Structure 1
Amino acid sequence: MLREKLANKHVILASGSPRRQQFLRDLDLDFEIRLKEIEEVFPENLNAHEITNYLAELKANALSDELTKNDILITSDTIVWLENKALGKPKNAEDAFVMIQEMSGKAHEVITSVCIKTLERSVTFYESTKVFFLNLTDSEIKYYINLYQPFDKAGSYGIQEWIGLVGIEKIEGSYANVVGLPTHRLYYELMNL
Structure 2
Amino acid sequence: MAEVTDGVGPRLVLASGSPRRAQLLARLGLDPVLRPTDVDETPRAGETADDLVSRLAAAKATAGAAGGTGDEVVLGADTVVVLDGRCLGKPVDRADAAAMLRALSGRTHEVTTGLAVVRGPVSAATRVTTEVTFRPLTDAEVTWYLGTGEPDDKAGGYGLQGAGAALVERLDGSDTNVIGLPLAETIALVREVGLDLLCDRS
In the superposition, the TM-score normalised over structure 1's length comes to 0.90
Q: How does 1:173-188 map to 2 (within 5 A)?
A: 173-188=173-188
Between the two proteins, what is the percent identity of the paired residues? 34
Deviation larger for 174-183 or 90-99: 90-99
Q: CA deviation at 1:65?
A: 2.1
Q: 1:88 is matched by which residue type in structure 2?
A: G
Cα distance in 1 for residues equivalent to 2:69 and 2:110: 36
Deviation larger for 61-70 or 155-164: 61-70
Gap regions ≥5 residues in structure 1: none
Q: CA deviation at 1:143?
A: 1.4
Deviation larger for 32-41 or 110-119: 32-41
Corresponding residue of 1:121: 122
Corresponding residue of 2:197: none
Q: How does 1:31-50 map to 2 (within 5 A)?
A: 31-50=32-51
Q: 2:27 is matched by which residue type in structure 1?
A: D
- Partners of 1:78 and 1:111 within 8 A in 2: yes
Q: 1:90 is matched by which residue type in structure 2?
A: P
Q: 1:186 is matched by which residue type in structure 2?
A: T
Cα distance in 2 for residues equivalent to 1:13 and 1:73: 6
CA 1:155/1:123 → structure 2, altered by over 3 Å: closer, same or farther?
A: same
| Secondary structure of the corresponding residue to residue 150 of structure 1 | helix
Q: CA deviation at 1:44?
A: 2.3
Corresponding residue of 1:138: 139
Q: Is residue 164 from structure 1 mapped to residue 176 from structure 2 by the alignment?
A: no
- Partners of 1:14 and 1:34 within 8 A in 2: yes
In the superposition, the TM-score normalised over structure 2's length comes to 0.86
Q: How many equivalent residue pairs? A: 191
Deviation larger for 127-136 or 154-163: 154-163
- Partners of 1:68 and 1:119 within 8 A in 2: no
| Secondary structure of the corresponding residue to residue 152 of structure 2 | coil
Cα distance in 1 for residues equivalent to 2:174 and 2:72: 28
Corresponding residue of 1:56: 57
Cα distance in 2 for residues equivalent to 1:138 and 1:55: 35
Cα distance in 1 for residues equivalent to 2:43 and 2:171: 28
Q: How does 1:28-107 map to 2 (within 5 A)?
A: 28-107=29-108
Corresponding residue of 2:192: 192
Q: 1:26 is matched by which residue type in structure 2?
A: R
Cα distance in 2 for residues equivalent to 1:36 and 1:118: 17
CA 1:105/1:92 → structure 2, altered by over 3 Å: closer, same or farther?
A: same
Tell me which stretches of 4 or more aligned residues in structure 1 moved more than 6 Å.
Answer: 2-6
Corresponding residue of 2:199: none
Cα distance in 2 for residues equivalent to 1:159 and 1:14: 22
Deviations 1:95-118 (A, max 9, x none): 111111111111000101111112
Q: 1:174 is matched by which residue type in structure 2?
A: S
Q: 1:173 is matched by which residue type in structure 2?
A: G
Q: CA deviation at 1:4?
A: 7.8
Deviation larger for 33-42 or 83-92: 33-42
CA 1:13/1:94 → structure 2, altered by over 3 Å: closer, same or farther?
A: same
